[in-house]
Amino acid sequence: MNSSVKRTSLAVRAGLLGSVSGVLSCLLVESRIIYIAREQKTYDHVVWPGLVFALVVLFPISRWAGDSSSRTATALIASSVVYPIAWRIAISSLVGPSPPSWAIVIAQFAFAGFLGSLVLASVFLCRRPCWAKAVLATVVLGTVIGGLMGANLRAAMTVVHWPVPARDGLGLLAILWQAVVGASLGRGVQGRQPGSGGDS
């Protein structure tokens, strides 16, 4: 019972940190201060969310879990690297002259969510108690939210009077992704201890 309370507590804290990270990421991406000298944003603006998630979510969880410095650093680097790669994959079909099909947009965003959550969960949770189940849960959640992000974006591109504009939908679902994945990672850190019937 005590272990379950600890897992839930850390999941809630990590989810709240994920929400904060998502909001900060959106603010940085849209910041006029950072890009004051540029007429247009360049590809480097997509690096910020990965860095923010690493510092705001992964670093505190790793410290709470008592991880080694090398494990913490590996997780921070993984977050910073995988986010721009996943985002590039998600938007790769949107650069053409005509809107891509629903299936392509949803599949690419879902794959981006899958890739990001898989890398983060694998690096951050590997070899912890019950790590396989925790990784699976994180990946499923990340993939589903990624697919929803693509579906909303495609709908906003073509459906007249769609209630959620593309830009707002991307921001809101990015915040949701970071909150949910953060909570899942936090819960996974506090898996059952070896000998209690979990994975080792």
> pLDDT band at 39, cuts 50/70/90?
very low
Average pLDDT over residues 157-169: 88
> Which pTM does this prediction carry?
0.85
> pLDDT band at 196, cuts 50/70/90?
very low
168, 1 contact by CB (below 8 A) = no
The H helix count followed by the E strand count for the chain is 7, 0
Domain-by-domain residue ranges, the chain? 2-189
Return the sign of the alpha-carbon dihedral for residues 53, 109, 120, 75. Answer: negative
How far separated are the first and last CA of the chain, in Å rounded?
20
Q: What angle do CA 52, 55, 56 make, to 5 degrees?
A: 75
Each residue's pLDDT tens digit, 8-35: 888 899 999 999 999 998 887 776 555 5
DSSP secondary structure letter of residue 42: -
Rounded to an integer, what distance in angstroms lies between the CA atom of residue 111 and that of residue 89?
Answer: 8
Instruction: Give the pLDDT of residue 28.
Output: 79
Per the prediction, the chain carries an average pLDDT of 85
Instruction: Give the pLDDT of residue 193.
Output: 45
- Least confident residue range of 67-71, 141-145, 161-165: 161-165
Chain-centroid distance, C-alpha 136: 14
Chain-centroid distance, C-alpha 3: 26
